[in-house]
Amino acid sequence: MAVSRWYFKFTKNTGGKLMIANVLESDKGVYRCRIDFSDSPTRNFRVQLSLVDPPESIFVMDSQGVEVHNVAGPYFEGYDLQLSCTVKGGKF
């Protein structure tokens, strides 16, 4: 029997919680919580789950195409500084 990554947990102290183990890219989207009361109108809430996949590497280059490590410069006052940032991988 396979164990589900998704389950609903309810306790008196914390109420209901949707639990998702090992969140995947396919889990992102809008989730809806519906609460039915015996003597009040039903309430609905929506939550957007977004995922961030950090970049593999980040490179900073100066105007001559030389990679900058830790500190850029020194530069003379009045110098036109140009730095570019290149990122490999990642999503948001």
- For residues 14 and 33, membership in a common domain is answered with yes
Does 59 reside within a domain?
yes
Q: Is 9 helix (H, G, I), strand (E, B) or coil?
A: strand
Domain holding 74, by residue range, is 52-92
Q: What is the pTM of this model?
A: 0.55
- For residues 61 and 45, membership in a common domain is answered with no
- For residues 44 and 58, membership in a common domain is answered with no
* Domain count along the chain: 2
For residues 34 and 51, what is the distance between their CA atoms, to the nearest angstrom?
23
Banded pLDDT at 72 (limits 50, 70, 90): confident
For residues 77 and 80, what is the distance between their CA atoms, to the nearest angstrom?
9
- For residues 39 and 61, membership in a common domain is answered with no
pLDDT tens sequence across 8-41? 898 888 888 999 999 998 999 999 999 888 999 9
The sign of the dihedral angle between the CA atoms of 12, 15, 18, 21 is negative
| 9 φ, ψ (degrees, to nearest 5) | -120, 130
